[in-house]
Structure 1
């Protein structure tokens, strides 16, 4: 049975997915899924392996285009736009396996994520050198502040290849924040992270969320989901199965059936 998760009433909707489907020939990976993400919300998306949640995530991020349906950011239809174009609309994402440039320093990795710099144009470097220089200084200051925020400032000159898996997740969080997103898509931030760094990641996500930034979180770590997410969506077999609090979905018979084949 398919359901449509509309999101909480009242708050502004920043992300809207309407009847999204993704087909690969005869295979339907995502089947008529609808949900909204409200401003300031941390929304969890969970489901057993093969549920279609990663494909759904890629449709929202712009890595793939839906076969049908509509995806809107701040009311703007972005269904046919690339991931790069969606960043310009305030939609950023992290990856389950972080992808830093291993030979570049941490600060250069963060600086690469900045958007709409005057110095990106060759002519501007000649016509507005002072403006370009001022923007460069501001960008460096912002990158350093973000590295400090994720507790990596002491390593800012080190190449990204020296980082542990958990530190790479923190670096990726700094990189996505460099683009000033209004919405952040988090792809399994707990995967491969030790308990100590996981607490840091949870704390940093909470602090960013306090600033009004919304999150859509895919995660297998149910403890993390229950701590961060006020609302959780569950997918199974490409469809949206149910929604509710973490406690509600954990005890829903449909969820137990999807995960355990009926074994309680």
Structure 2
């Protein structure tokens, strides 16, 4: 069954689900029996103190590390044993807290490299089907330019990525991940190291992409951003999911006050 048919068949269920996920490192439980669902079309926040297990959870969802036990379900399919590139093809994209674009390539080239299933990826095809490869590259460049326009970087499209500020690199990362047509994007601390002006731009772009039907799950320490952006919030502490609800609901939960806010009233 093609990936598009798989996505269509799963359209009524959650786009992503964790089922009783456990991840051990020796005797340490980094994630301990965590279950949750990401509803199709929402912006879901994942918060918690340092060491709560959030980044490990992201690594598990993206396929960077396997779970010790439990299942990860993407568009109705169990992908617990799938490599990251297979999850990308099933509709899952991920950004990183510190984006690392190819500094000497232009922005448009960086975005084009994130495309999937290009004939030109095969060395033989470049010799046997050069016209098809060239046609696909033109289409990919047009799409990349449209995505750079979406994240307000089109004026820098042909500049090397090294000229970008930290916040602009996060916008480029959004364009790169969108190149693969994801249904869900895992965002790792989009506010980290970003000035207030660019943060407003990033939030606006996330809302715009979400309005186009893309689901988001994000880790973030900026509570103001989470409150303004997320439809629901999950809270982890000591490797476990301790609370979920709206931002205002979790802010009032005593377990969150104790674990995340250090017991402050």
User: In which range does the TM-score fall when normalised by the shorter chain?
Assistant: over 0.9
How far the C-alpha of 1:198 sits from its partner, in A, is 0.6
Number of residue pairs matched? 255
Q: 1:53-111, CA deviations, whole angstroms, 9 ceiling, x for partnerless residues? A: 11111100111111110001111111112212211111000000011111111111111
How far the C-alpha of 1:207 sits from its partner, in A, is 0.6
Match of 1:227 in 2: 228
Kindly indicate whether the alpha-carbon contact (under 8 Å) linking 2:114 and 2:179 is maintained by their aligned counterparts in 1. yes
The farther-off stretch of 121-130 and 145-154 is 121-130
Match of 2:5 in 1: none
- Alignment partners' CA distance in 1, 2:143 and 2:109: 12
Secondary structure of 2:260 counterpart: helix
- Alignment partners' CA distance in 2, 1:180 and 1:123: 26
Match of 1:194 in 2: 195
Match of 1:166 in 2: 167
- Alignment partners' CA distance in 2, 1:203 and 1:160: 22
- Alignment partners' CA distance in 2, 1:261 and 1:107: 44
Q: Give the CA RMSD over aligned residues.
A: 1.3
Secondary structure of 1:13 counterpart: coil
Match of 1:217 in 2: 218
Match of 1:122 in 2: 123
Which consecutive residues of structure 2, in runs of 5 or more, have no partner in the other structure?
1-10
Which consecutive residues of structure 1, in runs of 5 or more, have no partner in the other structure?
1-9
Match of 2:111 in 1: 110
- Alignment partners' CA distance in 2, 1:99 and 1:80: 26
Match of 1:149 in 2: 150
- Alignment partners' CA distance in 2, 1:11 and 1:236: 31
Match of 2:41 in 1: 40
- Alignment partners' CA distance in 1, 2:111 and 2:219: 23
Secondary structure of 1:36 counterpart: strand
Kindly indicate whether the alpha-carbon contact (under 8 Å) linking 1:11 and 1:38 is maintained by their aligned counterparts in 2. no
Task: Please give the TM-score of this superposition, normalised by the length of structure 1.
Answer: 0.93
- Alignment partners' CA distance in 2, 1:123 and 1:11: 41
How far the C-alpha of 1:11 sits from its partner, in A, is 5.4
- Alignment partners' CA distance in 1, 2:224 and 2:148: 26
